[in-house]
Amino acid sequence: MSTYIGVSEIPSFIIPAFLLTVSLYWLWKREMARVPGPRGLPIIGNIPQVTGGGFDQKLQRFRDRYGNIFRLKLGEMTTIFVFGLKNIEEVLLGRNENFEMRPNWLYIPDKVIQKKGLIWTNGEMWQRLRDIMTNTQNSPDSGQHTEKQIMTEIHHTVKLLHTGSDLGETGIDPSSLFSASTFNILSSFVFGQRFEMTETDYSLLKDGIADLTERNKTQNPVNMFPSLGACMTRKRDEAIVKESELFIILKKYLTAHASKRCPGNPSRDLMDTYIQQTETNIESDTENTENNFLRSILDMYIYGSEMTSSLLLWTVVFLVRYPDVQRKCQDEMDLVVGDRDLTSSDRANGSLPYCVAVLKEILRISSPAVMTTLHTNHKSAIVGGHLIPERSLVVCDLHNPRFDENLWENPSEFKPERFLSKLSAEQERVASLSFGLGPRCCPARKLSETAHFLYCMNLIRHFRIHHYDESVPIPLTADYKGVSLKPRPFKVVFKPREVQVQVSQG
């Protein structure tokens, strides 16, 4: 006897009920995978909830409510924020490099920057520009020349502090000094030379780049409201003209480099490396490549200057806040280095472990970098159980993993000794998270670490730095401005010290 039931024998309500159940389950799964976030107002979205300062703290409150992955509608654009180390690594280190691209269709990158440079270019051109940057840093000849120029800048700073009238007990705000030094450190890498503050090109470049930085901010309202673009043509044209004016100055130095350079000679700086590449790779679209290279130089100044000067300020804050740590660094240098200048070899050969540990701990606990630059994905992806649609705007947190109690003992405590013992691979990645992870990590990391070590350690070798009012601890308060977390303005005294040359025992 057959037990087969024909379709005609199935009750009529079963099939619709089954299809309804499957549809509801699919909708439920899709809703569960959808990135959560607060409701926003018509047109402006969640903008009122993130304005008014303390942006990083407001993001933390959204994270507490909605979890490690949440969305905010900022004007017409929706941005997805990614927290939690596992999720961050999935985005920045994930297979197939799905999130390595920049959303250069936004108004400023597209219409103003015109998808040029190291930050907003994608694909082969981006890789070529990154290779120029990396090859320059890895070149022994370029490295030696850049270090020599950095030391010249340090000697200039030391002389300025020794002979200046601001060494009195009232103290000085070092932000302007560090800003000028950072500009010259980057110039040493790019041009192979530093500038005197009285030089015309110094003022034209520094002021022009500061102006362009304001015009090119990702937070510009026109990025959030692309429909406003038609009303912004005057400002767009002004920004393009400003970039063109800076290009003229940069081209002058590039032409001078090319005229002095002998083919086959080793590269001494970034411009040399670029010229060397053009000697070996004949391209049909040299103008496009050159404009991308020149824009990459501006990108270095726009992003590198603010980050590096902020890091120098944070370093002074912590060395002043913890005078015993400053003194231990000085004692180690006196013992190992004596009265000579520190070099990058002192960092590389491990002869100053405590000094290096202090700088690593400062970078961990007070990194200026809070979030990554915008990323986008060329195909949809599941991250942390949430569906990230194709071509999303994605930003990753760079702050919280450095304070993860599962990775660090008492993470809020300033403790350089934690870097004197071997770290796990995960701790190593997180300790330097301010440089980012994956293909889009900071391309100038090696230069930044070298400059940080040489500048700060040589500075405290010559001076004891203390708060202008030693009875009051220097504050650790900060403001999130532009692209970095900066300490609030402070005053310190640079008191010249006599180097105590010690003789090691044994």
The two three-digit tokens of residue 396, written as one number = 């990753």
Amino acid letter, residue 434: S
Amino acid letter, residue 190: V
CA distance 318 to 367: 12
CA distance 245 to 333: 45
The two three-digit tokens of residue 408, written as one number = 């660090």
24-38 b/e (C-beta count within 10 Å ≥ 16 → b): eeeeeeeeeeebebe
CA distance 88 to 380: 16
H helix or E strand, kind and range, residue 462: helix 445-462
Burial (CB < 10 A; 0-12, 13-18, 19+), residue 505, is: exposed
For 200, phi and psi rounded to 5 degrees? -60, -45
- The SS3 call for residue 131 is helix
- The SS3 call for residue 484 is strand
Token look-up 């089954």 returns 18
Amino acid letter, residue 420: L
CA-closest candidate to residue 185, choices 137, 149, 213, 140: 149
DSSP string covering 212-259: HHHHT-TT-HHHH-GGGGGG-HHHHHHHHHHHHHHHHHHHHHHHHHHH
Asked if 307 and 452 count as a contact pair (C-beta separation under 8 A), the reply is no
- Rounded to 5 degrees, what angle do the CA atoms 297, 364, 448 make? 25
CA distance 182 to 159: 17
Rounded-to-5 percentages of helix, strand, coil across the chain: 55, 10, 35
Neighbours of 348 (CB within 10 A): 11
CA distance 129 to 273: 11
Asked if 149 and 192 count as a contact pair (C-beta separation under 8 A), the reply is yes
441 marked as part of a ligand binding site: no
CA distance 189 to 84: 35
Asked if 179 and 505 count as a contact pair (C-beta separation under 8 A), the reply is no
The two three-digit tokens of residue 320, written as one number = 């002043």
Q: Which residues are CB-neighbours of 323 under 8 A, at least 6 positions away?
A: 466
> Could you tell me which residues are annotated as the binding site?
442
> Could you tell me which residues are annotated as the binding site for heme?
442
